[in-house]
Homo-oligomer: A and B are copies of this chain.
């Protein structure tokens, strides 16, 4: 029997997508092959690859002057690729709102000046700090934020005004959850394993003028955006099966009504959980209301023993991966696109029952 999986990533996938993938595993269409076995230079695979990109462009309404790249290495690899490709003056601005935002900043320090314009570390990243734009460097090569903080369950209530400095956003746990105005950004990146596909592919959406020729530099060919932009992400063998899964997920998003429908679905789910947390006498949200993520909902009882007991009993009842990130403890329910509202409703019913008994 399928469980309700609240993992922060790799995370739950739509059941329809898994069933379709299973049914096509042995033979895809009339190709006589599994997608896994297709040459990445074959017509069969290129159709999947190009359809995946086309769907991504359609669903996210990506303007023509942006490239969509399929990479590997997750968000962590982007912590290197972004400074290696974007630094020219050697300076960039960062808002540190959690562990990943912090890693993006600390990794960028290898290559230049990584200025922290604001941080919410003082309160365990439970809020998004006020931004004082007089602290922004107008000559920075980019301004980096992590739009939704998977571990701490916060998200930016609005975007920073960075003027002509390109805004770069880690959208790993946010992308595809609601409409976004791509033109507000110079570069958007997201690992797949939250809302997009299984782990193994990383999406980069980059404004074309930010793609530089670094062929004579010491930047590894595989870490140059131009390598992928010039080759339709087929410079070498891409993670073909992950891209196929991404296509299936995008088809599912489209069939459900696209990103406005996803937004409605996700707001409804999040409301069910936050409404309960705000009335519960046992559980509480750890995040200030206006900064709350719709995707990742951390909560605590304030008592570690009870937290542990809850996680254990929840697991036995079929609600899995509810432990908070190992760096913070407590609980966290990640409720990405593929989590059905029934999953959240049943979790809340289980929490209420647990509350009664504890």
Binding site for B on A (CB under 8 A): 1-3, 5, 7-13, 15, 18-19, 21-23, 25-27, 31-34, 36-42, 45, 72-77, 79-80, 84, 107, 110-111, 191, 193, 198-201, 217-218, 220-223, 235-242, 245, 318, 320-321, 326
Complex-state Cα separation, A223 to B220, whole angstroms: 10
- Which listed residue (B38, B220, B241) contacts A7, Cβ 8 A? B38
A39 touches B9 (CB 8 A): yes
B240 touches A198 (CB 8 A): yes
Q: Which residues of B contact A23 (CB under 8 A)?
A: 22
Which chain B residue shows the least CB distance to A20?
B25
- Which listed residue (B2, B15, B33, B241) contacts A3, Cβ 8 A? B33
- Which listed residue (B13, B25, B38, B80) contacts A10, Cβ 8 A? B38
Copies assembled: 2
The smallest beta-carbon distance between A81 and chain B, in angstroms, is: 8
17 contacts between A and B (CB under 8 A): A5-B32, A10-B240, A15-B26, A21-B25, A25-B25, A33-B320, A36-B199, A75-B236, A76-B222, A76-B235, A79-B221, A110-B220, A199-B237, A199-B241, A200-B241, A241-B241, A242-B242
Q: Which 9 A-B pairs have the closest CB atoms?
A: A3-B32, A80-B220, A200-B239, A22-B25, A36-B198, A72-B72, A7-B39, A76-B236, A200-B200
Which chain B residue shows the least CB distance to A221?
B107
The smallest beta-carbon distance between A77 and chain B, in angstroms, is: 5
Known A32-B2, A107-B220, A222-B77; judge A40-B10 contact (CB<8 A): yes
- Which listed residue (B12, B37, B76, B242) contacts A239, Cβ 8 A? B242
Complex-state Cα separation, A349 to B240, whole angstroms: 32
A218 touches B25 (CB 8 A): no
Complex-state Cα separation, A307 to B39, whole angstroms: 20
A39 touches B10 (CB 8 A): yes
Q: Which residues of B contact A318 (CB under 8 A)?
A: 32
Complex-state Cα separation, A34 to B21, whole angstroms: 11
Complex-state Cα separation, A191 to B27, whole angstroms: 23
B22 touches A37 (CB 8 A): no
The smallest beta-carbon distance between A220 and chain B, in angstroms, is: 4
Which chain B residue shows the least CB distance to A36?
B198
Which chain B residue shows the least CB distance to A24?
B22
